Structure 1
């Protein structure tokens, strides 16, 4: 009797992994790196023999960042009999679709969407929704701490009206309230807006020292370009979308100096990260990953899922058993973003904690570490910490 399951009879079906995200349309900026991260990991896993000699097969669905399309594509993944799935970049799409996976007891790992409600919709013990992207409930207070450390206490918040913007706004307001700070102005806007001058003027009139923006698309650049046109030299801070090409390329000089939360910055600070960056560049023939966090987290999500599946004997590869294996991992996975040691449990479906975050800054059109000490600290992999008691 060995420690590993015996080879599967050839009559058993291939292990099918669903992947869903915005691979076309306005959110492909980070949907495509997410998909490439999954593909890179799957190629490696299959080159090592897959599951007992059987390759892992991807079933890929494009949700186009549209909640209704996402719902339809999620059902198609279930109809395709995937054993588990990886996906979602947009919080609004995820919230419309995760019922499908929960109802069909199909584990889903979310490597991109950071909206706090995604892993809060179901009681943890019952939930089939896992995540290894930093939820906004840790990103927002992390950046609020950064703001306060720089002496900025007059904060204007500009957030879009999507599910992502709404959840992020609430997280920022809650984090500020814990510091006894009320925002001097809160502005809301729809996706696609081309001019936010009125909101920026109101923020300046009320004495804002910093703009905290919460949107996932080019509207971040609209804010930066608006500030520049007004010659208003206040900083712009936010969650990870400030690292997206939509912002960096759309705002150009106006993006310089923007600060954002990051779980992974594309610098070869250790051997694992260097190998990942080299392999990604070689495989997809690109000099730079457009959104490194999306790619790295998706790569790690794929390995976390594969390790759970590989721990199961053939007769137990089912949704409920994969869920249990994710919650009771018996060994750490040395990932790109972090070392995942007990990444999930029956009471906790979020793998990343605040100690894993660093402050990124736009410098010469790219994201790097805002502080040299963070670059040095990043050599030492930060492991998961229990959340402090309220």
Structure 2
């Protein structure tokens, strides 16, 4: 297949390089260093590794097309192990090492502890996975160096709430962990319900690592819940599913994108069937761009299945958006403020995997994803597919920001 969209994604590299002239063969181009930070080992590595792989794939493609004005892009990779203190230390290292920008963070709590490092250093950060709403709200948008290409919970929660209410599931039990991610998600779901004049019939909080949530599930059942909205990023989602199954409580489980993770699908097995979640990308060959991405990823990493496709696709798109931004800098100024301004004013449309990005960021808006880009995913036969046939049809056309 002729990967026309990929050539479009790289054409600006050749155009700008021609404007600056070819480097002497005798020169050794100095790599352009970009930070990459995430949980590449430990409890969140199931989506940290796909994030890293998606970023590496994009870098390989960009370097094959000439890199940045003949300079290869080099990833400076740091493993935060999903630990906020480790993430803070490694973020400080990245800033000291002088990276042009950083792509990173899967865990909201880890990201939140490190945001000040990037903001104070005026070093741009693009978040491809973490979805906690406060991440891009901590600093005033015009001054913020924090960008994001994942769907924040403030749009995921209303999207899922709209869906379940349309199905008649209005007696909602919320089960959320006590992390920053769970706290923020619980608040977003509660706000989304309030917008429809609804309140949760039960709210249960729990620590990560818990193995038994029978007491919370029984309380939700006694409260008359007809749907369970879970907000946790780890295996606790599977604990909830298996707990419902053990109680023979046949109500649906819905949530944000972690319900598409192996921790849930593989951990809960048949108890995961029928679960619904918000998605920006479902790994089905619905158009040429996605076919090309899936084929390249599977070939590079020798796999037929991406553990968390959204993490890989969003990181891939993040690296390309950063490349598009810096390639628009004509005076060679790659300082933090210059890169920030470039990201806020990306001149070319990037035909990405998760979305068609036309002005994804601006001075007043650092979130690239809007609710029209979301679809409902459904666990069916152990894989994530489209919950609605019309979403599969709509997905043939990659959405643009609204």
TM normalised by structure 2 equals 0.94
Partner of 2:114: 97
**d(CA) in 1 for partners of 2:182 and 2:280?**
20
Which residue of 93, 107, 119 corresponds with 1:76? 93
| Residues 1:318 and 2:335 aligned together | yes
Instruction: Give the drift of 1:314.
Output: 5.2
| Residues 1:237 and 2:254 aligned together | yes
Partner of 1:151: 168
- Measured against aligned partners, the alpha-carbon deviations of 1:84-106 in whole angstroms (never above 9, x if no partner) come to 00000000000000111111111
| Residues 1:283 and 2:300 aligned together | yes
Partner of 1:171: 188
Instruction: Give the drift of 1:311.
Output: 1.3
The answer for unaligned runs of 5 or more in structure 2 is 1-15
- Measured against aligned partners, the alpha-carbon deviations of 1:36-87 in whole angstroms (never above 9, x if no partner) come to 0000000000000101111001100000000000000101111111010000
How does 1:103-142 map onto structure 2 within 5 Å? 103-142=120-159
Question: 3-state SS of the aligned residue for 1:316?
Answer: coil
Partner of 1:298: 315
Residues 1:209 and 1:334: Cα distance change in structure 2 (over 3 Å): same
Partner of 2:9: none
Question: Once superposed, what is the RMSD of the aligned Cα atoms?
Answer: 1.4
- Measured against aligned partners, the alpha-carbon deviations of 1:20-45 in whole angstroms (never above 9, x if no partner) come to 00000000010000000000000000
Partner of 1:368: 385
| Residues 1:62 and 2:79 aligned together | yes
Question: 3-state SS of the aligned residue for 1:156?
Answer: strand
Contact 2:39 2:80 in 1 (8 A): yes
Partner of 1:388: none
Residues 1:108 and 1:155: Cα distance change in structure 2 (over 3 Å): same
- Measured against aligned partners, the alpha-carbon deviations of 1:105-161 in whole angstroms (never above 9, x if no partner) come to 111100000000000000000000000000000000000001101001100000000
Contact 1:106 1:320 in 2 (8 A): yes
**d(CA) in 2 for partners of 1:312 and 1:204?**
57
**d(CA) in 1 for partners of 2:340 and 2:200?**
41
Partner of 2:272: 255
**d(CA) in 2 for partners of 1:367 and 1:5?**
46
**d(CA) in 2 for partners of 1:305 and 1:108?**
10
Contact 2:48 2:106 in 1 (8 A): yes
**d(CA) in 2 for partners of 1:377 and 1:383?**
12
- Measured against aligned partners, the alpha-carbon deviations of 1:255-293 in whole angstroms (never above 9, x if no partner) come to 000000000000111100000000000000111000000
**d(CA) in 2 for partners of 1:336 and 1:349?**
19
Partner of 1:345: 362
Instruction: Give the drift of 1:8.
Output: 6.6
Instruction: Give the drift of 1:14.
Output: 2.3
Count of aligned positions: 385
Contact 2:30 2:72 in 1 (8 A): no
Instruction: Give the drift of 1:331.
Output: 1.1
Question: 3-state SS of the aligned residue for 1:137?
Answer: helix
Partner of 1:207: 224
Question: 3-state SS of the aligned residue for 2:286?
Answer: coil
Residues 1:137 and 1:8: Cα distance change in structure 2 (over 3 Å): farther
**d(CA) in 1 for partners of 2:350 and 2:22?**
23
Instruction: Give the drift of 1:15.
Output: 1.1
The answer for unaligned runs of 5 or more in structure 1 is 386-390
Contact 2:169 2:226 in 1 (8 A): yes
Partner of 1:333: 350
TM normalised by structure 1 equals 0.97
Question: 3-state SS of the aligned residue for 2:332?
Answer: helix
